């Protein structure tokens, strides 16, 4: 008997010491630096420390169009590499395109070639006449559906990669419905920077400037079929004024950002200040080498989301697979640009449909009210148990203290995020912490009324209530797991604290309180029990 009591008491003592050591860094900063750095902490959610809340709408149809355009570019490149001339092309709906070929067998040869090279598309021979023939290409329905289903998921992963590199602690980035993404960034104060970082499509393209056409004529509406007008932004360092210079560039990109291997910030560009240096993967290096070799002395526009960042003249062939994006960047702007380029472009544009900044003062107020509610709830529970169950109630209150301590330490070890609903979960866990003891104590009362000894009544009470306690906690735990699996950020915070509280309560109710009664009976058999 004594060995069992000593073993359980030692276990409780060790857990208590470890829990105190783990919890303290989350409660105070007045600790040794090594202790603070090496100990995991409880992190506060958006509603408790302030930050940025964003809801984005994903333009899924645009993702389908972007994929179609890439297929059209691939098809033209394949034909060109095999010596088959393409007179022109046009988009056919959201998921298709057509290519026009000169008279002869060019269209037939191209049809056979494209069916072999681009098996994911359905190709068919279109109109044939003296002016030539056309081939229609269209994405298969299964691929269109896959793009629709994956656009939001890929968007979530891309944004999460950006946010991770941005350095936000415990962000919440989740899909909502079929075309929504919800983002919570605790601790972020600069709302505009956050919006620009997560909302930037980051579609990087290299496009040749059309030097042979007149920009003035294009601005009047006379734009060549294969060209488009984009603007290059520049900022005067002294006055801070921003100007936009129109450029006439080719619609077709000769190279895109999906071939980027690395992107990093450097300093000391020709304009002074920060710039972003890029290196391409083997495929990108090969394409960039060919493009620069074929277009020496021409300008190559570096375009990000339809904005020209720079348009340098290609002085010579560039074989090293490296390029630079220069502009009037601050170090922060260059860093954000490098982040989105490394993380990759979004599969579809996103539109911010809701943005809310939660101030830190509101977070502090929420913490104060939540803590006050928890303390009041705990106080009422403690008083009720002490009044209704007397000495046994005090034993239950003793277990309640351990329950809260172990719960907080468990959250710290998991580096969980504490939210306002999470505090509500703690308050509910406080109520459940004594619920088990109520079941046990009522059983003990029944055994005492049956004229059993105190020791026998206590043992029988715990034995008979055991499965009832376990059943009630398991059902609550299943509910908490379902809430965590399918709930959003705040609901997950509630589910985390509730599930941990339920699991810990089983230990405190069945071990911590029992060891007190066993100790008193082992020391001197109890003749009466105040219950």
The label of the residue with tokens 């029988």 reads 460
Question: Integer distance in angstroms from the first to the last C-alpha of the chain?
Answer: 24
CA 197 – CA 337 distance, rounded (Å)? 8
| pLDDT at residue 66, as a whole number | 79
Q: Lowest mean pLDDT: which of 122-126, 238-242, 511-515?
A: 238-242
**Residue 382: in which H helix or E strand, if any?**
helix 360-413
- Alpha-helical (H) ranges within 167-306 are 191-199, 215-219, 282-294
Packing angle between helix 360-413 and helix 420-449, nearest 10 degrees? 50
pLDDT tens-place string over residues 162-202: 787 776 766 788 888 888 998 888 877 777 878 877 877 77
Dihedral sign, Cα of residue 456, residue 462, residue 467, residue 469: positive
pTM of the model: 0.58
For residue 192, the cross-strand partners are none
Strongest mean pLDDT among 5-9, 109-113, 360-364, 376-380: 109-113
Q: Tell me whether strands 88-92 and 96-101 are parallel, antiparallel or unpaired.
A: antiparallel
pLDDT at 209: 94
Cα torsion angle, 80, 86, 90, 94, sign = negative
Interior CA angle at 159 toward 156 and 163, to 5°?
130
- Residue 151 to residue 156: CA distance in whole angstroms: 9
User: 122-135 pLDDT, tens per residue?
Assistant: 999 887 778 889 99
Q: Give the C-alpha separation, 106 to 85, whole Å.
A: 8
Give me 290's structure tokens: 């060919």
- 210 pLDDT band (50/70/90 cuts)? very high
Quick one: pLDDT at residue 248?
94
For residue 226, the SS3 value is coil
Q: Phi and psi (nearest 5°) for 310?
A: -160, 155
Question: How high is the pLDDT of residue 298?
Answer: 92
Question: pLDDT tier at 261 (50, 70, 90 boundaries)?
Answer: confident
CB 41 within 8 Å of CB 26: yes
Report the pLDDT value the prediction gives residue 100, as an integer from 0 to 100: 92
Arithmetic mean of pLDDT over the chain: 84
Distance CA 293, CA 282 (A): 17
Task: Go through the domains of the chain in sequence order and give each one's CATH number.
Answer: 2-50+360-523 (1.20.1640.10), 62-142 (3.30.70.990), 200-357 (3.30.1360.200)
Token pair of 48 as six digits: 């408790």
Mean pLDDT to the nearest integer, 304-330 = 84
Q: Return d(Cα 248, Cα 304) in angstroms, integer.
A: 15
Render 369-381 in DSSP notation, one character per residue.
HHHHHHHHHHHHH
Q: How confident is the model at residue 334 (pLDDT cuts 50, 70, 90)?
A: confident
- Taken in order 161, 166, 171, 174, the sign of the CA dihedral is negative
The sign one gets for the Cα dihedral 184, 187, 192, 196 is negative
What pLDDT score was predicted for residue 17? 92
Nearest to residue 310, comparing CAs of 415, 204, 393?
Answer: 204
Report pLDDT digits (tens) over 270-316.
Answer: 555 788 888 988 888 888 998 999 899 999 998 888 888 888 889 88
- Other beta carbons within 10 angstroms of residue 193's beta carbon come to 15
């Amino acid at each position: 008997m004594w060995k069992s009591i000593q073993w359980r008491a030692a276990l409780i003592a060790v857990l208590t010491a470890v829990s105190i050591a783990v919890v303290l860094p989350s409660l105070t900063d007045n600790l040794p630096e090594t202790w603070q750095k090496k100990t995991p902490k409880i992190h506060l959610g958006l509603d408790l420390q302030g930050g940025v809340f964003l809801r984005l709408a994903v333009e899924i149809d645009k993702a389908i169009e972007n994929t179609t355009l890439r297929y059209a570019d691939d098809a033209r490149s394949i034909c060109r590499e095999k010596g088959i001339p393409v007179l022109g092309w046009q988009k056919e709906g959201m998921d298709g395109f057509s290519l026009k070929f000169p008279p002869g067998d060019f269209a037939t040869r191209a049809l056979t070639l494209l069916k072999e090279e681009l098996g994911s598309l359905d190709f068919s021979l279109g109109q044939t006449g003296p002016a030539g023939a056309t081939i229609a290409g269209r994405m298969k329905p299964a691929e269109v559906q896959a793009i629709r289903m994956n656009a939001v998921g890929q968007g979530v992963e891309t944004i999460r990669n950006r946010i991770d590199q941005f350095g936000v602690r415990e962000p919440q980035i989740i899909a909502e419905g079929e075309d929504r993404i919800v983002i919570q960034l605790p601790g972020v104060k600069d709302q505009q920077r956050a919006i620009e970082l997560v909302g930037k499509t980051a579609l990087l393209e290299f496009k040749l400037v059309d030097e042979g056409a007149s920009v003035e004529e294009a601005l009047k509406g006379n734009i060549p079929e294969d060209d488009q007008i984009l603007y290059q932004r520049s900022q005067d360092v002294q006055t801070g004024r921003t100007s936009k210079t129109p450029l006439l560039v080719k619609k077709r990109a000769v190279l895109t950002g999906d071939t980027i291997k690395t992107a990093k910030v450097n300093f000391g560009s020709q304009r002074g200040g920060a710039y972003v240096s890029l290196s391409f993967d083997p495929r990108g290096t090969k394409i960039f080498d060919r493009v620069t070799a074929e277009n020496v002395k021409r300008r190559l526009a570096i375009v990000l989301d339809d904005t020209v960042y720079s348009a340098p003249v290609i002085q010579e062939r560039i074989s090293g697979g490296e390029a630079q994006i220069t502009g009037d960047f601050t170090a922060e702007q260059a860093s954000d640009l490098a982040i989105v380029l490394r993380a990759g472009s979004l599969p579809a544009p996103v539109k911010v449909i809701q943005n809310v900044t939660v101030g830190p003062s509101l977070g502090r107020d929420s913490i104060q009210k939540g803590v006050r509610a928890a303390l009041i709830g705990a106080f009422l529970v403690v008083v009720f148990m002490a009044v209704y169950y007397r000495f046994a109630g005090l034993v239950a209150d003793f277990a309640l203290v351990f329950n809260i301590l172990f719960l907080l330490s468990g959250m710290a070890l998991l580096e969980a995020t504490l939210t306002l609903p999470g505090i509500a979960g703690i308050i509910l866990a406080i109520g459940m912490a004594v619920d088990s003891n109520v079941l046990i104590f009522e059983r003990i009362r029944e055994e005492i009324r049956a004229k059993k000894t105190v020791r026998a009544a206590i043992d029988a009470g715990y034995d008979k209530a055991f499965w009832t306690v376990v059943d009630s906690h398991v059902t609550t735990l299943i509910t908490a797991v379902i809430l965590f699996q399918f709930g959003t950020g705040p609901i997950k915070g509630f589910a985390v604290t509730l599930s941990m509280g339920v699991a810990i309560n089983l230990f405190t109710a069945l071990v911590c309180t029992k060891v007190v009664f066993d100790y008193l009976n082992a020391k001197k058999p109890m003749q009466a029990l105040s219950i």
